[in-house]
A and B are shown apart, each in its own frame.
Chain A
Amino acid sequence: MAVYLFYFLIFPGLLFMAVAGALLSWYDRKITARVQFRKGPPLLQPFYDFFKLLLVKETILPQHGSRSLFLLAPLFGVFGAAMAGLFILLPLFGIETGFRGDIIVIFYLLTLPSFSYILGSLASGNPLAAVGASREMKLIISYELTFMLVVAAVIMKSGQQFDMNSIIETQQTGRPFIGSISGVLLFVAGVFCIQAKLALVPFDMSEAETELASGIYIEYSGPPYAMIKLAKYIMFFILPAFLVAILMNGMNPGINIVWFILKILGVVLLLTLIRNTNPRLKIKQASGFFLIWMNLLVVIAIVLIAFGL
């Protein structure tokens, strides 16, 4: 029992994921700054932001709306992100083998943060938050199907294996899935799904700082907002880790850890560059992009997999 608590709370659970995610979020901001020829924030900036919100700032509750749901939603988000991260990282680091079908559990848990943001913002009773929440719902409907198809294609490619551990092992004994045409197509679709899940720029219409004044997070202040930041940091680490696990053969022990870190940094660099070179889409364009083009891409990949490419 105690060892599971250690897994959940310290390594590779909450604490480790939060620290890694915060550092990745600094990396993202630094790259953004360098792209714009700026100097960028110091290394510990995400920690300053988090502890300032958690320890210093006051929490303001909305006058209208459900206060308990408003306060509980960020905690659900952190829980969902940490739980999904645990199921991803335990097989990835080779600590536990997971169980049969855990990739489907991961898929469900990864949607929990987005759902909790929707619940929290609708509970706040703010009209701008409601607009943000409705956009987030439409975005979820668009990208979840693509994401599910990517997962299904990976399951098919690994020879109907439903657990993370076997998928990673299949790649480590054979070759990584990204080394084939279908793997590249899946990687492209997966990167865009992650972009939408993290609400980075082409798909950030739910927070839209310039039009909705941070949309779904508009009413959050102080510790609840710190929890949202924590969930975002965790998601920023585990989603690239998930992609590396299912397509780029995960992590081998020993010195290969460096190679694993480089793969994560590469995926995040790609996300950051996409975010810095694209304007925000309208929600209709984003839906069309996922429902037509990305789904087409994944279906082509699945057909290719059926032919063994």
Chain B
Amino acid sequence: MGFKDHCFRKSLWVFHFGGASCNNCDIEILDCLTPRHDLERFGILLVGSIRHADVLLVNGSINRRDRDRLLELYRQAPKPILVVAIGACGCTGGIFAEGNTFAGPVDKIIPVDAYIPGCPPKPEAIISGIVKLAGKK
């Protein structure tokens, strides 16, 4: 593992994209950044602009309208970017998988690097997933 990779996985900046979510995953993601779980000790920051992002967190079921926005975000992100699908809806579609407006789970639209299942996943599960992702590359 080179110096570049080391720097990259020590400083993952996260951009959060919520699809048509029921908000539970959003709350759990924000939980990770609060003082109790403190993701900043791994160098993880929440950023407001996709231009600064290294990780794209996607949660919620992706419907036909979200699909275009998600694709646009992925195109605008500076590469390399890691995509993490969070929650049952992000990973597989969950209970919305048969829905009329459902446009496929996240990995049908953009390549996904990590899946964190759960409805919603616990903050510990999200942290464990992100740490494994940081160790993978």
Contact = CB atoms under 8 A, between A and B. Distances in A.
Interface of A: 29, 33, 36-42, 44-45, 47-49, 51-52, 55-60, 209-210, 212-214, 217-222, 225
Contacts of B35: 36-38
Given A51-B3, A51-B7, A55-B4, A40 B41 contact: yes
A48 B78 contact: no
B78 A221 contact: yes
Given A45-B43, A48-B43, A52-B54, A218 B49 contact: yes
B78 A60 contact: yes
B132 interface: no
A121 to B, nearest CB: 12
A38 B10 CA distance: 18
Contacts of B6: 48
A40 to B, nearest CB: 6
Interface of chain A, main secondary structure: loop
A220 B3 contact: no
26 contacts: A33-B38, A38-B35, A41-B40, A41-B41, A42-B10, A42-B41, A44-B10, A47-B7, A48-B10, A48-B43, A49-B11, A51-B3, A52-B7, A52-B8, A52-B11, A58-B80, A60-B78, A209-B47, A209-B48, A217-B49, A219-B51, A220-B52, A221-B51, A221-B52, A222-B78, A225-B51
A45 B11 contact: yes
Interface of B: 3-4, 6-8, 10-11, 35, 38, 40-41, 43, 47-49, 51-52, 54, 76, 78-80
Given A33-B38, A45-B43, A58-B79, A220 B7 contact: no
Nearest to A57: B78
Nearest to B33: A38
B48 A56 contact: no
Contacts of B47: 209, 214
Given A48-B11, A52-B11, A218 B4 contact: no
For A45, A56, A213, the residue with the greatest tally of chain B CB atoms inside 10 Å of its CB is A56
Smallest CB-CB A-B distances: 3 pairs: A213-B48, A221-B51, A221-B78
A251 to B, nearest CB: 33
Given A45-B43, A51-B3, A57-B78, A214 B11 contact: no
Contacts of B51: 60, 218-221, 225
Given A56-B7, A60-B51, A225-B52, 20 more contacts: A33-B38, A37-B35, A38-B35, A40-B41, A45-B11, A45-B43, A47-B7, A48-B7, A51-B3, A51-B7, A52-B4, A55-B7, A57-B78, A58-B79, A209-B47, A217-B49, A218-B49, A218-B51, A220-B52, A221-B52
